[in-house]
Amino acid sequence: MSDLEAVLRSLPAFPEPLPVLSADDLPEDPHALFRSWLDEAIASGARQPHAMTFATVRADGVPVARTLIVKDIDDDGYHFSTHRTSRKGMELAERARATMLFFWRESGRQVRITGTAAALDDAASQRDWRERPSYTGEPNPDWQRYALAAEEFEFMQAREDRRHTRIEYLRSDGGWTHAPVATPAG
């Protein structure tokens, strides 16, 4: 074992104690569960509870990811904003399918949201631009607010025995179904 491997192995992956996610007591609506986890992360004082990893697919098929901030959640979906001509902006213009991954280390929770990103209108984008700390009074036609309309969720709650609880929600007939995802033993 290398020195690095020994150091890495000594680091705890999760804090203890961890909250428990009961598969028997879940809301029908994944947005409600997401919102309760986000609210709890904010209330706990976790740093950047609104940061997530945002993954797109490049034209050559390679998945690429970066950190973004979720700006709001409404009927359009999970809002984020960026430059339209950034790499991710260009990737979304080609393929609107994208994934958001939230990780709240203090509670051992992870949520993956997969869906389709839609560009919101200019008024929403410019309002977002004006609210940025770096705003200097000039509009920015390259700034774009998007909403990711969710089609799949996977909620993961880590467990101290490492038999983590994972729940998948899938969109069906305008509603949602959910079921546990089997976690390989070990």
Ligand X SMILES: Cc1cc2nc3c(=O)[nH]c(=O)nc-3n(C[C@H](O)[C@H](O)[C@H](O)COP(=O)(O)O)c2cc1C
Where does this chain bind ligand X (CB under 6 A)? 48, 51, 66-69, 80-82, 86-88
Within 10 Å of residue 41's Cβ, how many Cβ atoms? 21
Provide, rounded to whole angstroms, the least separation between the CB of residue 129 and ligand X: 11
Comparison of 33 and 55: residue with beta carbon closer to ligand X: 55
Tokens for 87, please give them.
């790499």
- Tokens describing residue 167: 């729940």
CB burial of 115-125 (b: ≥16 within 10 Å; e: otherwise) equals: bebebbeeebb
Q: 176: which residues sit within 8 A by CB, 6+ positions away?
A: 28, 29, 30, 169, 170
In the complex with ligand X, the residue whose CB is nearer, 82 or 107, is: 82
> Residue 100 or residue 167: which is nearer to ligand X going by CB?
100
Shorter beta-carbon distance to ligand X: residue 29 or 122: 122
Q: How far is the CB of 31 from ligand X (least distance, A)?
A: 21
The amino acid at 128: D
CA 173, 179, 184 angle in degrees (round to 5)? 140
* Least distance (Å) between residue 74 CB and ligand X: 17
> Least distance to ligand X from the beta carbon of 4, Å?
24
Residue with smaller CB distance to ligand X, 81 or 157? 81
Return the SS3 of 59: coil
For residue 61, the minimal CB distance to ligand X (Å) is: 16
